[in-house]
Structure 1
Amino acid sequence: MKKIALKDIAANFGVSISTVSKAVNDSHEISKELKEKIQKYAKEHHYRPNHVALSLLKKNTKTIGVIVPNILNYFFTLVFYGIEKTANSRGYSIISCISDESYLKELKTVELLSTGTVEGLILSLSEETQAKGNVEHLQNLIENQIPLVMFDRVSEEVDCDKVVVDDFEAGYKTTKHLLKTGCKRIVIVSAIYNSSVGKLRVDGYKKALKENGVEYDERLIVEVRKNDDLQLLISLLLDNKEIDAIIALDEITAVDTLNILKSKDIEVPKEISIVGFTNGRLSKYVSPALTMVSQHGQYIGEQAANILIDRIEKEGDMPYTTKLVKTSLIERDSTKKILGNSSSY
């Protein structure tokens, strides 16, 4: 027999999950008539409350969980810094975990943290979770009234608070900037091709090409898998295509690409321009310094932490919110300049 959840009861009566929870827990806030109807329905359908989740609701641990997919990506390091800084200022501690882009690890970590250890979760989906499209483990959190804020890589199937980067616009404006510098054969090198953010950036890239009358060539989208040799991929690309710009969708790939081009005596940006994503320290100190798209990771972390803690501390139903964060182009020496203009952003 399929286990009935709070959301199923709520849907039957046309009320909120919060109302159902109060009714099954015999709260005085619910009218006697509605409470009896909900309790009867729950009993008839063999509803069993999640005692762990209920104990979490009643216990003030002053701790929140954070799950990021990849700590080697400097963007997630910045987000975590913003979360920790804000949480600490509001009297909360952090338990941080890494899913390592694995669905199974993410699933097990969510289950572990939702056993009463933390009062809420901040999470960015692993690439494998997004590829599978299975977010049942997160829907269970919402059904059991465990506060959740998703950031960067999110799912529209989960009703919760979200903080997202305008990745479509970032891909669009970055490509548009390169086109204005005279580049025409622009490559995207992506190690996050299965993620929502990677796909949105490529979509923005396509729009910019179309608007400027440049034909889209799928061969210029280089997908870098976990065990791929980036040097080999870039070498094959250079052998077969006359390219004049590369957009790398993360910082490490951008730095590696720069070093590969330099090893082949290709002048950057005279022959090929390079733009990367995430304005980390590495990009500033390589030569030439890399032009980067800043996603404002620390600010995203601060926003996510404040939204989660507000939801934990405020009683009553709060509407879910989605905050959209714009990116900025940090121009350095790895791209040509636009004549008569400093930036297209």
Structure 2
Amino acid sequence: MKKITLKDIAAHFGVSVSTVSKAINDSHEISTDLKQRIQEFAKEHHYRPNHVALSLLKKSTKTIGVIVPNILNYFFTQVFYGIEQTANARGYGIISCISDESYLKECQTVDLLSSGTADGIIMSLSEDTQAKGNVEHLQDLIENQIPMVMFDRVSDDLDCDKIVVDDFEAGYKTTQHLLRTGCQKIAIITSIYNSSVGKLRVEGYKKALQENGKDFDEKRIVKVGRSDDLELLISLLIADKEIDGIIALDEMTAVDTLNILKMKGVDVPDQISIVGFTNGRLSKYVSPALSMVSQHGKYIGELAANILIDRIEYEGEMPFTTKLVKTTLIERESTRKLGTKSSKQLS
């Protein structure tokens, strides 16, 4: 049975959520009669007060909960850094949590942070949550007036502040760039195929192919699961000797792909150009240095922290906002220069 929320009680009495919260908290601002009726109704329906929602009327824990799906992804490390720097500057500490792409772990973490541990939450959805399409655990946060900012992987079903990367445009522009450098047969290698961001990048890739008169081939979308052998998948991919461009949708996959191609004697970028996502340290120091799409993770973290703290500290009504962050392609040695063509063929 779904637990009753402040919003449910407010709807029953035709009053605001704030009025219900004050009544349950025995505030002198609410009439004795209404306060008594609300308290009795809440007791009859086994309402359990959310300590964060109530504490916002009194005090602040000065703590922000942060939930990311994968700490090994350098993008999320950059976001963490931006959040921590900004939160500390404004007098807040952070509790860092990892869902490990698991819906169950995400639910458990949200439950922990919403039990009075943090004033608000900044989070990116796990791949498992997006695959299931179930965000009821987050709807409960909103109904209980717990501030939340979602970033990168967000849900359209939730009314809250959001920061999204223009992943469709990133996939589109990256593909266009490779086509302009002379690539004809471009593949995508993705370990985030169930996530919204992975899907949007592929859709942008498809649009670029279509606009340039190139056929889309499903076989050129290489989906890498946790237990899959990337070397085997790449071997199967380059068996098509016409493949001359690869877009890897995260940094580790881009680095691994580069190393596997080098081990197989493939010249990068002369035979195959590579572009990865997330401009981390690894991509700069491999040889050849990898061209990358920067999602500006530190900036996203700073923006998310400022939006959340503003909402925590502002006593009036604030409309929810959705910020769109553009990506930047950083060209390095793993892609051919504009106007050049491959001089070698895979043997």
Q: What TM-score does the superposition give when structure 2 sets the normalisation length?
A: 0.91
Q: Give 1:95 shift.
A: 0.8
Structure 2 counterparts to residues 33-44 of structure 1, below 5 A: 39=38, 42=41
Distance 1:38 1:310, change over 3 A: farther
Check whether the contact 2:70–2:76 (CA below 8 A) recurs between aligned residues.
yes
- Give the aligned residue type for 2:111: E
Deviations 1:245-297 (A, max 9, x none): 00000000000000111111111111100000000010011111100000000
- CA–CA separation in structure 1 for the residues paired with 2:16 and 2:185: 52
Check whether the contact 1:311–1:318 (CA below 8 A) recurs between aligned residues.
yes
Percent identity between matched residues is 73
Distance 1:90 1:337, change over 3 A: same
- Give the aligned residue type for 1:174: T
- Give the aligned residue type for 1:201: R
User: Which residue does the alignment assign to 1:310?
Assistant: 310
User: Which residue does the alignment assign to 1:232?
Assistant: 232
User: Which residue does the alignment assign to 2:113?
Assistant: 113
Check whether the contact 1:24–1:38 (CA below 8 A) recurs between aligned residues.
no
Of stretches 57-66 and 198-207 in structure 1, the one that deviates more from structure 2 is 57-66
Gaps of 5+ in 2: 341-347
User: Which residue does the alignment assign to 1:326?
Assistant: 326
Check whether the contact 1:124–1:151 (CA below 8 A) recurs between aligned residues.
yes
Check whether the contact 1:18–1:317 (CA below 8 A) recurs between aligned residues.
no
Distance 1:104 1:3, change over 3 A: closer
- CA–CA separation in structure 2 for the residues paired with 1:129 and 1:321: 23
Structure 2 counterparts to residues 80-99 of structure 1, below 5 A: 80-99=80-99
Three-state SS of the structure 1 residue aligned to 2:319 is coil
Distance 1:243 1:105, change over 3 A: same
User: Which residue does the alignment assign to 1:131?
Assistant: 131
- Give the aligned residue type for 1:234: I
Q: Give 1:157 shift.
A: 1.2
Q: Give 1:25 shift.
A: 4.6
- CA–CA separation in structure 1 for the residues paired with 2:271 and 2:14: 63
Distance 1:2 1:265, change over 3 A: closer
Three-state SS of the structure 1 residue aligned to 2:262 is helix
Q: Give 1:325 shift.
A: 0.4
- Give the aligned residue type for 1:39: I
Gaps of 5+ in 1: 341-345
Check whether the contact 1:26–1:35 (CA below 8 A) recurs between aligned residues.
no
User: Which residue does the alignment assign to 1:147?
Assistant: 147
Distance 1:108 1:43, change over 3 A: closer
User: Which residue does the alignment assign to 1:50?
Assistant: 49
Three-state SS of the structure 1 residue aligned to 2:279 is coil
Structure 2 counterparts to residues 182-201 of structure 1, below 5 A: 182-201=182-201
Check whether the contact 1:5–1:47 (CA below 8 A) recurs between aligned residues.
no
- CA–CA separation in structure 2 for the residues paired with 1:288 and 1:272: 12
Check whether the contact 1:55–1:116 (CA below 8 A) recurs between aligned residues.
no
Distance 1:275 1:23, change over 3 A: same
User: Which residue does the alignment assign to 1:168?
Assistant: 168
Structure 2 counterparts to residues 9-24 of structure 1, below 5 A: 9-11=9-11, 17-22=17-22
Check whether the contact 1:9–1:38 (CA below 8 A) recurs between aligned residues.
no
Matched residue count: 339
User: Which residue does the alignment assign to 1:6?
Assistant: 6
Check if 1:288 corresponds to 2:288: yes
- Give the aligned residue type for 1:284: K
Check whether the contact 2:21–2:54 (CA below 8 A) recurs between aligned residues.
no
Deviations 1:107-156 (A, max 9, x none): 11111111111111111111111111111111111111111111111111
Check if 1:217 corresponds to 2:217: yes
Distance 1:43 1:70, change over 3 A: closer
Check if 1:260 corresponds to 2:263: no
- CA–CA separation in structure 1 for the residues paired with 2:21 and 2:102: 32
Distance 1:41 1:208, change over 3 A: farther
Check whether the contact 2:52–2:117 (CA below 8 A) recurs between aligned residues.
no
